[in-house]
A and B are shown apart, each in its own frame.
Chain A
């Protein structure tokens, strides 16, 4: 649902059908969607609103709050010189979401990074393997319950 304060914002209103929430702060628009709707939102952004580029896909761990993981997509429209942020929240138990690779190929490595460092699985991703950490690493380093320093024997 787009809040009252953003009813004048045409870009926000374009996402009315898929948005669970929307905020506008620091001159940036953030649209929050249900994880099941993420591909619809991305397709809407790319094909109808002209956001040709996906800048980055990243995660934020809100441990111990639930839903624990926020998957954040930053989109850019080169022609309209606009940026947009899409967010989806996932629970800490078995976090899974559809891969954005189907819409933006640049999501490939970014999603591998989120999988590697947060443990979020992306469904239908062509190569869901670790990218930064060695292949046999146990644990997901960017989670809040993972220590900053330590020794592994």
Chain B
């Protein structure tokens, strides 16, 4: 099966299948060890599994002996849908994959398409993309913090986080007309010009936001109940996390300074000055602190984008790919023809394949796009961060208590849309 050099050949609490859970249960029934275990489902309908995740748990009292995650309850065949839609139509599908960070998804898909087409995106579009991607990170982290806290019992944090999130959703609505499923980025730039007056809204938000993050920290960081529930919980060794496919804040909370925005900058992230927070304790509390600090860093990036936003066009100079200006379309024949062709037929993308990865709030979100030279992608594979992160669940929870499962799952911050697509 493997040779002596292979790092891991079989399960060492690392990967568990449903069959193993059942076999373990059968064995406990008959082996006279005195352990009387019970196999229970946690999910798929459960408020704390953050989506339709089913965990098959073999329990001895409240201790988890073996656990096997079962996914696929939210599988909607999005990867197949990409193949029957034109490239531009595909952007609307991307919002719905990781529905808590829609603009991140738009961004990675558009970057992949632009890589294949070789498009040069103007600075205004790039900076707006960065700003909105960071707003998305705030959006997602606020939901994470609210739901994580409420799972553990801190109910008021949920309401405070959603108060801030409400303003962010209003800003998204100002830009794209939609609160959540924005589809604001298109292959070639932005869908619409940034609205008049956005600077004031963003400035008002960003002026008060850091004090709000301080409020959340006030409620939780030195709170005895919070630290009691989260310190020392949810430990997974770093090498195991890397080998099991985990990405994102979980690795950063274990000491690894890895962030695609710094390692392989895209969309002009190299022009922004921000830190990548890391901790070393590698527990739920560390992941909480990493994400809180990420929120502060995102606010810093948004402020830089606000103050330094370049002027110019919001779309690339590519008439056959990017929709023409609406007014020109109504009066100039050429623009009308381009508009018609792009909307009805779509634009052709050169043959080839690319893999584009972006740092979403959950980790590495990647798009593997294969083009066959026509107007519809041949294959789009979505590498969702949560799919990789969820593989580490058995390693994290086997041997712990059910209450720790709740805290651990919250710290992983997965979204089932990302996992199942």
Contacts and interface: CB of A to CB of B under 8 A. Distances in A.
Contacts of B71: 131-132
Centre residue among A28, A72, A109 by max chain B CB count within 10 A: A109
A85 interface: yes
Interface string B371-399: 00000001101010001101100000000
Interface string A58-73: 1011000000000010
A108 B391 CA distance: 8
B404 interface: no
Contacts of A131: 71-72
Interface string B114-140: 011000000000000000000000000
A103 B2 contact: yes
A150 to B, nearest CB: 11
Contact of A52 (B8, B11, B242): B242
B381 A58 contact: yes
B354 A28 contact: yes
Nearest to A25: B352
Contacts of B72: 130-134
A43 to B, nearest CB: 7
Interface in B89-133: 115-116
A74 B264 CA distance: 16
Contacts of B263: 78, 81
B1 A102 contact: yes
A131 to B, nearest CB: 6
A106 B3 CA distance: 18
B214 interface: no
Contacts of A117: 79
Interface of B: 1-3, 5-11, 14-15, 17-20, 71-72, 75, 77, 79-81, 83-84, 115-116, 240, 242-245, 256, 258, 263-264, 352-355, 357, 364, 366, 368, 370, 378-379, 381, 383, 387-388, 390-391, 420
Interface of A: 25-26, 28, 30, 43, 46-47, 52-56, 58, 60-61, 72, 74, 78, 81, 83, 85, 102-106, 108-110, 117, 124, 126-127, 129-134, 141-142, 148
Given A58-B381, A78-B256, 19 more contacts: A30-B353, A46-B7, A52-B243, A58-B383, A61-B379, A74-B366, A74-B383, A78-B242, A83-B355, A103-B2, A105-B8, A106-B391, A126-B17, A127-B15, A127-B17, A127-B18, A133-B72, A142-B80, A148-B81
Nearest first, the 7 closest Cβ-Cβ pairs linking A and B are: A106-B245, A127-B17, A102-B2, A132-B72, A132-B75, A58-B381, A56-B383
